């Protein structure tokens, strides 16, 4: 045991000293330190007293949790302790290796995902674990799961022609089993040495004028909720999860804006999306089936719609188009606006990107939101869609993007 001011460099240089583990305590924050196991595994910990008992909280494994994140979490825990709240009340309830796989997954979601992940990440991880793994291994003993069984499931997902989904499934199950090792539920992770089951390639699919028109018309026929969601994807250029999780309280229909809080965006940055008149028409036509959610699930209070795969297959049949994804709509909108003359930094702002013009130091200091320019660009795009639909009889399938002659490109 030793005391020192923990720094990123000091933590990185710590090496194992078999056969015993050792701990290094932070001189800046009492009770906070890092434990180094004989195997070299490093975990941040916090030792504290609550209700006259000394307790130990495992904050997270390095480098999955950075020093800065661990110190911040330790300070949050100490603030709870100061209010008389034990930050680890569930510790005695943590599962042991005799519990079922399903019980361990529930504990993982409660003790890890709900604490350290954004709501959207927590929801996605829980969904993958339940649909891909719990339904197969639910009542199996946690320690009985073998690497070969993981590979069998991943290979099956690839065989379904979903390579990206297979990689996401591996990421979720690997995170889960690493947590089990960290909590002492397993000696070793069965995911150790498992490679990505598929090579992902960056997509560059941009829909043609005719395809865009067919998808819009197909969405009209598909109806609520998925048809309206697809049309809003085309009118706002936002991500599928952000549109699916849209809330009435985030919409200002009179002011024609949609305000996305940081907790609901992929990059963790709050975002304001100007709404076009056509987007307002779509929103005002929707039934209000939930006080908060715009697209609530038919079953399950407080959750948004899911099962996009089934809706996508139905839309493919209605539109007569295959070989595209919902995310291709976002790329299509960005490409289409660029070809209509919208400046790159305005397109980036609409997409809520943190790279390019808004990346690095420039992004920190460039806080101007460009809302008028974003509104003009999205209005131009909505007009373009309307023009395509009016001229759909004259648009040849597969025709390239073009700026319509009767559209005025704003100075953005």
Residue-wise pLDDT tens digits, 322-335: 889 999 999 999 99
Give the count of beta carbons closer than 10 Å to the beta carbon of residue 16: 15
Residues 145 and 166 occupy one common structural domain: yes
Residues 253 and 345 occupy one common structural domain: yes
Inform me whether the pLDDT recorded for 51 exceeds 50.
yes
Which residue range(s) make up the domain with 49? 2-89
Inform me whether the pLDDT recorded for 94 exceeds 70.
no
Rounded CA-CA distance 343/412 in Å is 6
Rounded CA-CA distance 364/266 in Å is 18
**Residue 143 in domain:** yes
Written as six digits, the tokens of 245 are 């999780």
Determine the pLDDT at residue 397.
Answer: 40
Residues 158 and 219 occupy one common structural domain: no
Residue-wise pLDDT tens digits, 166-205: 999 999 999 999 999 988 889 899 999 999 988 766 567 8
Determine the pLDDT at residue 399.
Answer: 38
| Section 368-378 average pLDDT | 87
Q: How confident is the model at residue 65 (pLDDT cuts 50, 70, 90)?
A: confident
Residues 42 and 175 occupy one common structural domain: no
Inform me whether the pLDDT recorded for 282 exceeds 90.
yes
Q: How confident is the model at residue 396 (pLDDT cuts 50, 70, 90)?
A: very low
**Residue 187 in domain:** no
- The domain spanning residue 158 has which CATH number? 1.10.150
Residue-wise pLDDT tens digits, 11-22: 888 888 777 888
Q: Which of 392, 258, 400 is nearest to 336 (CA)?
A: 400
- DSSP secondary structure string, 57-70? EEEEEETTS-HHHH
**Residue 262 in domain:** yes
Residues 149 and 267 occupy one common structural domain: no
Average pLDDT, the chain: 84
Determine the pLDDT at residue 274.
Answer: 95
- The domain spanning residue 62 has which CATH number? 3.30.160.390
Rounded CA-CA distance 40/36 in Å is 6
Residues 343 and 390 occupy one common structural domain: yes
Inform me whether the pLDDT recorded for 411 exceeds 70.
no
| Section 243-250 average pLDDT | 94
**Residue 136 in domain:** yes
Q: Whole-model pTM? A: 0.57
Report the range of poorest mean pLDDT among 218-227, 259-268, 284-293.
Answer: 259-268
Q: How confident is the model at residue 214 (pLDDT cuts 50, 70, 90)?
A: very high
Q: Which residues pair with 100 in a beta bridge?
A: 141
Q: How confident is the model at residue 96 (pLDDT cuts 50, 70, 90)?
A: very low
Q: Is the peptide bond before 137 cis (omega within 30 degrees of 0)?
A: no
Domain boundary among 37, 59, 89: 89
Most confident of 277-281, 363-367, 394-398: 277-281
Query: Residue 284 in 3-state DSSP?
Result: helix
Give the count of beta carbons closer than 10 Å to the beta carbon of residue 138: 13
**Residue 165 in domain:** yes
Residues 144 and 219 occupy one common structural domain: no
Percent of all residues in the chain with a pLDDT value above 70, rounded to a whole number: 86
Residues 254 and 369 occupy one common structural domain: yes
Residue-wise pLDDT tens digits, 98-123: 578 999 999 999 999 988 887 778 88
Query: Residue 321 in 3-state DSSP?
Result: coil
Determine the pLDDT at residue 90.
Answer: 47
Residues 176 and 289 occupy one common structural domain: no
Residues 140 and 214 occupy one common structural domain: no
Rounded CA-CA distance 125/175 in Å is 9
Residue-wise pLDDT tens digits, 298-307: 765 578 887 7
Residues 239 and 343 occupy one common structural domain: yes
Determine the pLDDT at residue 202.
Answer: 59
Domain boundary among 55, 89, 123: 89
Determine the pLDDT at residue 201.
Answer: 60
Q: How confident is the model at residue 392 (pLDDT cuts 50, 70, 90)?
A: low
**Residue 201 in domain:** no
Q: Which residue has the higher pLDDT, 50 or 222?
A: 222
Inform me whether the pLDDT recorded for 93 exceeds 50.
no
Residues 371 and 336 occupy one common structural domain: yes
Q: How confident is the model at residue 403 (pLDDT cuts 50, 70, 90)?
A: very low
Domain boundary among 131, 163, 182: 182
Q: Is the peptide bond before 392 cis (omega within 30 degrees of 0)?
A: no
Written as six digits, the tokens of 321 are 């188009």
Q: How many folded domains does the chain comprise?
A: 3
Helix (H) or strand (E) holding 4: strand 2-4
**Residue 146 in domain:** yes
- The domain spanning residue 233 has which CATH number? 1.10.443.10
**Residue 145 in domain:** yes
Report the range of poorest mean pLDDT among 31-35, 348-352, 354-358.
Answer: 354-358
């Amino acid at each position: 045991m030793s005391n020192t001011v923990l720094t990123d460099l000091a933590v990185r240089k710590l090496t194992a000293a078999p056969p015993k583990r050792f701990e290094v305590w932070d001189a800046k924050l009492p009770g906070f330190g890092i434990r180094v196991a004989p195997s070299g595994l490093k975990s941040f910990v916090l030792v504290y007293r609550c209700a006259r008992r000394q307790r130990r909280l495992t904050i997270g494994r390095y480098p999955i949790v950075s020093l800065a994140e661990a110190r911040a979490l330790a300070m949050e825990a100490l603030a709870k302790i100061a209010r008389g709240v034990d930050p680890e009340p569930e510790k005695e309830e943590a599962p042991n290796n005799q519990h079922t796989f399903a019980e361990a997954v529930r504990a993982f979601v409660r003790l890890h995902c709900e604490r350290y992940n954004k709501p959207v990440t927590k929801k996605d991880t829980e969904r993958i674990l339940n649909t891909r793994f719990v339904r197969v291994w639910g009542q199996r003993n946690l320690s009985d799961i073998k690497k070969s069984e993981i590979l069998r499931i991943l290979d099956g997902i690839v065989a379904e022609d979903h390579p990206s989904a297979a990689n996401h499934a591996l990421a979720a199950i690997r995170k889960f089993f690493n947590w089990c090792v960290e909590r002492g539920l397993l000696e070793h992770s069965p995911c150790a040495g498992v490679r990505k089951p598929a090579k992902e390639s960056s997509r560059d699919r941009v829909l043609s004028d005719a395809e865009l028109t067919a998808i819009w018309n197909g969405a009209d026929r598909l109806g609520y909720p998925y048809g309206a969601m697809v049309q809003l994807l085309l009118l706002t250029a936002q991500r599928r999860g952000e549109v699916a999780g849209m809330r009435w309280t985030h919409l200002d229909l009179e002011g024609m804006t949609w305000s996305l809080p940081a907790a609901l965006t992929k990059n963790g940055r709050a975002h304001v999306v100007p709404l076009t008149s056509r987007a307002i028409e779509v929103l005002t036509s929707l039934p209000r089936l939930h006080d908060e959610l715009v697209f609530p699930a038919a079953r399950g209070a407080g959750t948004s719609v899911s099962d996009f795969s089934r809706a996508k297959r139905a839309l493919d049949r209605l539109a007569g188009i295959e070989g595209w994804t919902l995310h291709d709509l976002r790329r299509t909108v960005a490409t289409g606006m660029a070809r209509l003359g919208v400046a790159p930094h305005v397109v980036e702002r609409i997409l809520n990107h943190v790279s390019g013009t808004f990346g690095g130091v420039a992004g920190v200091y460039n806080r101007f939101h460009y809302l008028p320019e974003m509104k003009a660009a999205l209005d131009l795009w909505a007009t373009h869609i309307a023009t395509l639909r009016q001229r759909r009889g004259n648009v040849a399938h597969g025709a390239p993007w073009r700026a319509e002659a009767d559209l005025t490109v704003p100075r953005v």
